Structure 1
Amino acid sequence: MTRAARWAWLVSLVAVTGACGVLAFLLSIGATTPRGFFERHYVWLFWLNAAVAAALVLVIGIAAVRLLLRVRRAKFGSKLLLKLAGIFALVGVVPGLLIYTVSYQFVNRSIDSWFDVRLASALDAGLNLGRGTLDGLVNELSLKTRDAADRLAESSAGQPVQLLALERLREQMAVRTVALVGSGGQILMAVGGDTSALTPDRPSATLLRQARTAGVMSQLEGLEDEALALQGQARIRALARLPASDMSLGSGDRYLMVVQRVPGQVLTNALAVQTASSEYQQRALERDGLRRMYLGTLTLVLILAVFAALLLAVILGNQLARPLLLLADGMRQVAKGDLSAKPVLASRDELGGLTRSFADMTDQLADARVQVERSVAQLEDARSNLQTILDNLTAGVIVFDARGLIETVNPGATRILRLPLSAYRGRRLEELAPLQGFAQSVAQRFEQLGDSPEAGERGTWQDAFELQLEDGQDTLTLLVRGAQLPPDARLLVFDDISEVVSAQRSAAWSEVARRLAHEIKNPLTPIQLSAERLQHKLEAKLEGADQAMLVRSVGTIVNQVQAMKQLVNEFRDYARLPSAQLKALDLNALASEVLLLYAEAQESGRLHAELAADPPAIQGDPTQLRQVIHNLVQNALDAVSDKPDGQVTLRTQKAFNDAGELRGLRLQVIDNGPGFADKVLKRAFEPYVTTKSKGTGLGLAVVKKIADEHGARVRLVNLHLQGDEGGAAIGAQVSLSFSKLATAPGPLDAGNAHRAA
């Protein structure tokens, strides 16, 4: 709880306590207030008490509900707050209930004692006594006034009444005023009375009428106003009719009026008894309301005590639980990874020290995490750099974990092996059917390295492997290097050296061809000339069978020498194949010109062309590419020569990438012959590899060499029936893919190629 919140709670507590105290004070003085105060303010005091009580109950209820909700949600510290609230509430409520019970009984009995029957009887008796005393004075004055009227009538004997006679009566009766009143109530003469008035007050018409009827009448006046009565305004007025006489001053009745003051002590006692009786009756009428008011005050005080106890429990509980809540919240934040600065309790006790220690520990953890994140970032940068290097390596890289499962594969490995190795992460290399033999060989090589490494091997080994791909089209020659990685991982790095090996073989064959052309061609001509000379010298000298044998033997020698010359010339051409002179040309036009040499095959339907519309121009050497097309078409026609329905198709088509962009031009020669033998597919581009009985095996080797000069890719494929990949071949296909495109086709270049041919 913040300092502002604590001050707000304190001010609220003081305000509520003050309001309740004022209400309790007002209610406590209800019984001693002047007459009429309690009656005027009873309703609003009662409802004000009820409103304050309801507000306190509502506040207590809200606090209790919030506390129970915190307990139900299992918030940290809620159980401690509940326990403290229960303890303080018990401390405040139990004594309060005890006091409330005692006060309840006391109030009931006290109020009942206030209205005891004996007290009511005493008040009634005192009131009757006062009334009796006053009535006695009134009656006594009435008798005296009648006697005085008779004496006055006798003493006057028909003569007018004198003031002196009235004065003597006043002195004899010891009264305040004596007056002679006419029949209409007018004052005829008077003696005595107040000095402030010249004549005494006239009697009321009622009193005058009663005196005319009864002869004499008296009444008590001035008690209506207690203040005036205490000031001496209370009096007894008696009116007696004078007997008729011939000596009266005038016609009509006359009355003797006597006014006597009520004795002060008697008046005071009578008024006191009357006031007490009136208040007693008023309190008796308010007995139930007064009881409810006092009991309401007691209930309000009890609720205030409970409220104060609960409020104190919440405040003290928050003070005790706040450090623990800070620590718990901080721990939850740290558990979620939030290591920001944590609040510290501004106190010097052990709990405050604990929060400070926790904040310091969090700061240290934050610094450590920053260092770790920095290290991780550096590691990620290094890993990213390493991954970039791996992705751009032309060599293939595969990393195996301690269990022999593929962990890392770079794009170079996928490109070289032509298999989706990335999809096999977490699996063994042996699970790829085409790589089972390769995986076993690699595993054996690693075991040899671990058991008995060869001289010079220090945790690494290097070897060459030949790998037959799944489609059986190409054989890869891989240069593989293996290394052990800590703790038990393995690294495999390999390069495709098939082209290097092929180039080495081509270079070796070129050297062999050059040497053969030099060593063999020179003696062939003398051999042929010697054989022909022998035939010329000896043919005429021999007869019959000997002559025929001579002719036959010389012919054989000459024919074989010619064959040897042709073979030597082909080897010479292979060895002396000039570098390609690349320029823009139209491959369709070049193919059409070559097909003119095979007009007979086209007319018989064994050869036909499917040329792409508007093909892009390529960079190529017309002379060499014409030789390539010629070799491929001739080989295809030779393959179908024994089939009556043999067909050869020369096709050109555009090549597109996945994005639909033009990336090259493809030349295909397709036949429906027997296809390539497996041994030819494996080494088709090596010199002297052929299935023909009369072939030299240099045709595809020349094609491969020319394709390499043009940066084109050559591919041999056996064709099968759809869905019968493992069955016999129904044809063969040779494809050349040209990726070097020219900016514009050159029809003149194609014509030049034709003339060069």
Structure 2
Amino acid sequence: MLKLFRKNLETGNPRQERDPGVNPNPPAAEDRESEKGARRRRREIIIICMLLPVVVFLVLFQSHIATWKVEAPFPSNLLVISLIILNILLLLLLFLLIVRNVVKLVFERKKKVLGAKLKTKLVVAFITLSLVPTILLFLTATFFITSSIENWFNVQVEGSLQESLIVAQVYYQDQANSALHYARQISQTIGQLRLLEKGNQGALSDLLKAKRAEYNLGAVELILPHKTGSLLIRGANLEAVNFPALESKVLQEAFRGKEMTKIQSVGQGDLVRGVVPIFSPQNPREVVGALAAIFFVPQSLVSRVSEISRAFEDYKQLRMVKHPIRSLYLATLFLVTLVIIFVASWFGVFLAKGITGPVQKLVEGTQKIVKGNLDFAIPKTSGDEIGTLVDSFNQMTRDLKSSKAQVEKAHAELSKSNLELDQRRRYMEVVLRDVGTGVISLDATGRLRTLNRSAEEILGIDASQVLGKPYTEVLQGESLHLAHELARGVNRAENHSLTRQVKIQVRGNLLTLLVKMAILRDEEGRYLGMVVVLDDLTQLQKAQRAEAWREVARRIAHEIKNPLTPIQLSAQRLRKRYLGQFGQDGAIFDECTKTIITQVEELKNLVNEFSSFARMPAANPTPCRLNEIIREAMVLYEAGHRQIRFEFKPDERIPVFNLDREQIKRVIGNLLDNAVAAVDAVAEKEGEGHIVVESQLDPLMNLARIEVADNGCGVAPEDKSLLFEPYFSTKPSGTGLGLAIVNSIVSDHHGYIRVKDNPPRGTRFIIELPLKQ
């Protein structure tokens, strides 16, 4: 390298600045000098092209070394020290090359080589332009790297990792304590009810199933000391899980009266068992069995606990190479700084060599073209980019003569194309505006560019306020998290498209949406953005669930109704025949038979509700006056609830239209019944209850609207989307069928029902019925 450096200093162009018209060197000598210069430039370019990938690879390699997982500190330290030595060698090489360029410029200026001043100016300019930001970047990066590495290895990070491990351990301990607690509760209940005695096997199984569901246990296991096997009651979601038998040591301790906890790993997760003894009701010290309450920890949680442990171990290993890594990063930054300075100086020299000669001729030609001489041409002297520039200059002068006509023709064609594009754009806007599916498009930066009317209605946003904004500013909370997850999914998909059904909260309502996403690319494969299509499946799924619940109600009513009457008659006959024959136990007999008769009656009412929901009669619409139906329904409630103020605001413009009188009356009665219950829940604390029923005519939509508003306890936001689902009720004694029947009747009339808050307190139900069905 030193020999090449010395040779380049001695073989500079020896020509002095002379009169431009005098050329002391023969053409052959100029050709030889030109050929030598070309070979030298090619050699320098080859060297730079070979070294540049090495430097880039080294920088990338070193920037990721801190993220590697190493098994022992010694190989990592050796690797870091080797890289530091390699960086130092590269630094020395780059420093030598920079000094070479500077010294060569100084020699050329002293010899007054043609173009030396321009070369110096370009080199100084490039170095100056690159040096200031490079130094600032170096200092800033040094500060950030130092502070970042200190932050990586601070006490808070290590403490957070340790606390994470403690949290995982506490979670398992809490599960074990809860299992022991619930096992004690179940064990005491079994002993008190004497369920281990003969003939109580069915009641014992029922109790274990009920307690498993009540305590939300994964499974409950009963082991008797003189029987092989055990009675295992597991949840439906754990049918595929293999429950291993308890170790004999644990069972022996339990049969000795001791409580034990055991954590067992199975293929799908961990089982946390709490094992307690079951004592005999006759002899509290005698153990008659053992009971295990089992919690199931899924594999996903087990994996996360393992990941936390591995992360803590990786952190401790990485902390051992903290100082070598910081030195490595600083050396890499300094290496990049010198690379930038070297490239700037070399590029200035290279650029000056190719510009000096042809630029003068281009200046002369430009002056002649300015004067109007379009026939002027510059002779081509080289085949590089400057030669291409000369050809382009000559071509430019030839094209200027015919450019006006071509520009006018191009302008006309462009105007025609713009008109066609504008027509297509308007047509697409009309289609997107009126289609029932929500359509959203985003550009390459994630900004909303298209949002049709259906998308506005589904998402509850105004297009005029969000178009042009990034989607990260429009969406918030769970919606933004869901959008990020869908974007990652469509990027990972093989065909760059994704279809997924999601649930999202919009203005207090839980919507079920079918989301279809696709990535947009042009003919060259460049990323243009995304298009999102939204289909609202909420009402469809509600209808499907309602139909399924009707079938369930029909079967339940059929199976339960038949044995109820014989049970009730048998209880009445027992009461009639034996009530006076029990003496002191007569009161107990009387209470038991009364309980049986009362509960059977309650079951009959429940079965009747099932039958009503399962066999809803078809609507029989006849011409009716809506206001009369509402008044008839309100009369009974006004008379029966004097403590509540009822108010009816009829709209007399509502015409006579087809309705099923009895079904609509049932709808109004059910809503009034719910309103009365909601008002009674808070009337004593909040003052007088008030229920308002209002009818309205909407001539624009050609429908009649009914609103039932109260100032009761209201409905929680998370319950609004479930109110009209079968068997969902906010009342402790409700069957959950009332509003489901209301929704079914309104749907049979081709109407729609929804629920809203009634500020400052209460609920407002809104029914919309079309005047023409």
What is the TM-score when the length of structure 2 is the normalising length? 0.45
Pick the structure with greater CA Rg: 1
TM-score, normalization by structure 1:
0.46
